[in-house]
Amino acid sequence: MRVIRKIVGIAVVLAVCMWSFIALSLWSEYTVARSAGQKQGFNLTAAFASELTRTFDSVAAAFQLIDSNVKAHPLGSGSDMENLLRAIIAAAKPGTGVRIAGPDGRLMFSSGALNSGLTDFSQQAHFISHRDNTSLLMSLDPLRPEVAGQALEVSRRLETADGQFAGEAMLFLKSENIITLNRQIDLGRRGMVLVLGVDWIVRAGYDRDHANGTVGIGADLTSGSYPYHLDAGAIAGLVRKAPIDDVARLVSVRALERYPLWVIVGLDMDDVLGAARVHVWLICFVGIGASLVIGVLTGLLVREVWRRIQREIEIAYDRDRLKSAQVQIEADRALLAETHRELVASQTIAEVANRARTQFLAHMSHELRTPLHAIIGFSELIQDQAPTKPGSPPLAGYAADIWSSGRHLLELINAILDISKVESGTTTLAETVFRVGELVRHSLVSVRAAAEAKHIPIELRLPETALRVRADQTRLLQILINLMSNAVKFTPNNGRITLAVSVCDSGELMFSVTDTGIGMTETEILIALEPFGQVDNTLSRAFEGTGLGLPLASKLTDLHGGRLVVTSVKGKGTTVTVTLPADRVVQKDGARVANG
């Protein structure tokens, strides 16, 4: 029964997922259709706004022509004004009539179509605005009852040559000529184009049945929740029911850049979503069919499960055997876990023992060095005061052997203790700033005698610029002495040793010791870097050494944040390079050396 519930649950989940996908597809279809309609609306508003701008450009040109003639011939002078008005009407194609009022508001000139009607404009709001506001050049005025068949009146302030108010020019435009592009574009069954002023009063309206622009003229759209504060040239899109006919439309609004006009294009939502709704129905039918298929398959699968339940009874014995095997596996796993715990405990004990050994050696510094210093001191005293007469016992020779053995043992103990301190983490660096050249020269003092005894010249290469380094001078000197001692020890007579100091491009400080000694293989280098490591060949066994010098130098280099690298060729020589970080290198004035 549990399996059947799972099957039914999976079928339900599958159906829910499928319908969720269908719902997402439907929403996507709706979104795409609306986005395409919005894009079409934006393109249409751009086209209509462009045509409207060109229309008003011609109006502005007509006004400019009137203003230029008024500046040249003040109103009332000359007899060419009638001819000028006819030329202006012919040039301004959308214009249907022109009126010109003088500075006192009295009508002075009018086109033939506008000879009757109002003759005194002194109390009109647009006349007062032009008279009192010098910056207002053009305004779109409300509709005039006395101008029949006109949709829009545009007026402009006229000035004399010296900038004084010379009157007002009024141009009346036929609504059917303001926009003509609507006659070439199909806006759909109930698509609409509206031209509005900044007061959101409809100046002209066009749809499929009213190409003359008379739809909604004078309607107030301030209560339609439109974006009333668009910047010049800006656009906006929304879905609204038009107050004119209460039809839901996808609305695109665009404000003209140069004139106080707005263009609204409304596309019927039924037209915008028509194709999408067809797809919605098709997808829904497909979803219903798929749901029926899922139901049928689920029924068949449930019947098959009932059959398999009967077969499961037959394989119950095999299942028990598998459980027994699983129990055995768990027992083996527990045994492995116990073995792992024992190994971890053994490793912990070994680490504790290693730390105890290291701490013991580190704490034995005073107890081991004090008696050795006494032995070395007394052997030097005996050597200096032993009788040297013929026939006297060779006490001086015995004392010299004791002194040499004591010094060797002290150096061995010092190396062991140094390595023990480094491994136990008790070694600290006493960092100071000192000259690199002096450090290198001091390192040569301790090996110069041994090198001269084997006739081995030591070449010193220092950079031209004096460098200073921030490090533990004693430990760094110890590193160089160990490297130089190994070079002298394993270089045959008449060989050659080079100690070079340089600053690489990255700003790091490099010390390199190169010899022409016996050399090592890659395997022997790994052995030499281990404490007490001895390269297993007869030539290296011929020299004294405990195998601590190179490992100690490597660990002291690590303490400084640097690295020690050994490169060698068997039978040709060895180069050991010690590299310190760039932030340890300073100039003479104490400033760090810049990289590169």
**Is the pLDDT at 462 greater than 70, yes or no?**
yes
Span 355-389, pLDDT tens digits: 776 666 656 655 666 776 677 777 777 767 766 66
User: Chain-wide mean pLDDT for the chain?
Assistant: 79
**Cβ-proximal residues to 576 (8 Å cutoff; 6+ apart), any chain:** 483, 486, 487, 512, 513, 550, 553, 564, 565, 566
What is the pTM for the complete model shown?
0.45
State the pLDDT at residue 392.
Answer: 59
The mean-pLDDT minimum among 241-245, 463-467, 591-595 falls in 591-595
How far is it, in rounded angstroms, from Cα 565 to Cα 300?
Answer: 74
Span 496-541, pLDDT tens digits: 999 999 998 888 999 999 999 888 888 888 887 776 656 654 444 4
What mean pLDDT comes out for the span 171-195? Answer: 82
State the pLDDT at residue 145.
Answer: 43
DSSP state string for 250-312? EEEEEE-SSSSEEEEEEEEHHHHTHHHHHHHHHHHHHHHHHHHHHHHHHHHHHHHHHHHHHHH
Span 437-449, pLDDT tens digits: 888 988 888 788 8
Percentage of the chain with pLDDT > 90? 9
Query: Confidence class of residue 130 from pLDDT cuts 50, 70 and 90?
Result: confident
